[in-house]
Structure 1
């Protein structure tokens, strides 16, 4: 279902994400970079989202072995997510005015985009489905689930920090040592297991 080139690139980018995650954790937890310390579960979720949304989705969208209707949805989603990424980095590190509700609004828009794309391609999805179609639907379903999860995380985090995400002392990450983040970290740890299992399972099936 996935071309050999896509499989190789996904494996390489996954390895790059692992290395980047280690470096990012060192920067936040040892060097004390802006945004605060980050817990293990939140670090795992952050790079899961980065890999899935910013790397895997565009690669799958470019793979001609994937059904065209799914490629269109994933391509539009990836482009929209990359625009958000650029804007978020600017608001975080540039003007220091990032607020989680911005991300929630974008996540909801992404959910609408993916659902709208599925509706647009409904003729294919309501017909006889082959293995590639089922795989593509599973991948799109995982993207939708991850977006819903991110909305919940952002809302819980914004409440926990009481809106203090802006300025030089803005808090951007959940620390494992602070009691106010205990519930968020436990929830993230619990959901990381099925989310990672789903992604690894889908990519494994896609390699067949």
Structure 2
């Protein structure tokens, strides 16, 4: 299976356009709700915005993907856009966002994805199913949810995030994203 031309062009182009914009965005004006924002946190947020809000919908409309992967990505896109709206409402309207709310929603998303994969994987995958690199994207989604949950728990329990941990996990996540983008052209 091959990715569509739109995916091959838009995925790296979106990264090249969105990453500098997100990094340059001055997030320190929201210090009243969560404290100062480090450069490592900005990189992580830019990564999440790219994967969640740009790459997920882009792949959700790529009909060259296997049906199960497409279903998971579409459902996850709906969940994450709902979370974005809910989080904006809590932050900007109610002024009551807690990292614990983000953690709970991440766990909910993990359970939803695991249910879909467990329920439908046996019926939709034939015996001789070829490998498709879109499953790497599902692993990136799980990685995002788990790492974001760790960050949220650390922020909730300790009150700050260790910059060394942020940099290490950011590096691993960006390496996975690079492999996914490379797979668009090689597999």
- TM-score using structure 1 length: 0.80
Correspondence for 2:116: 117
Q: Note closer, same or farther for the CA distance 1:126–1:152 as it changes in structure 2 (3 Å cut).
A: farther
Correspondence for 2:129: 129
Alpha-carbon distance in structure 1 between the residues aligned to 2:129 and 2:170: 29
Give, in angstroms, the shift of residue 9 of structure 1: 1.7
Which residues in structure 2 correspond to 1:167-178 (within 5 Å)?
A: none
Give, in angstroms, the shift of residue 128 of structure 1: 2.6
Alpha-carbon distance in structure 1 between the residues aligned to 2:125 and 2:99: 34
CA contact (8 A) 2:19 2:47 kept: no
Correspondence for 2:146: 148
Correspondence for 2:179: 201
**Residues 95-151 of structure 1: CA distance to partner in whole angstroms, max 9, x if unpaired?**
21111111111100110111111113312457333132xx12221112112211111
Q: How many residues align?
A: 181
Which residues in structure 2 correspond to 1:1-150 (within 5 Å)?
A: 1-24=2-25, 27-28=26-27, 32-35=28-31, 36-123=35-122, 124-125=124-125, 127-132=127-132, 135-150=133-148
Correspondence for 2:158: 160
CA contact (8 A) 2:7 2:59 kept: yes
SS of the residue aligned with 1:33? helix
Correspondence for 1:174: none
Q: Which runs of 5 or more structure 1 residues have no equivalent in the other structure?
A: 162-179
Q: Note closer, same or farther for the CA distance 1:204–1:97 as it changes in structure 2 (3 Å cut).
A: same
Q: Note closer, same or farther for the CA distance 1:159–1:84 as it changes in structure 2 (3 Å cut).
A: same
Alpha-carbon distance in structure 1 between the residues aligned to 2:101 and 2:126: 34
Alpha-carbon distance in structure 1 between the residues aligned to 2:178 and 2:21: 19
Q: Which runs of 5 or more structure 2 residues have no equivalent in the other structure?
A: none
SS of the residue aligned with 2:30? coil
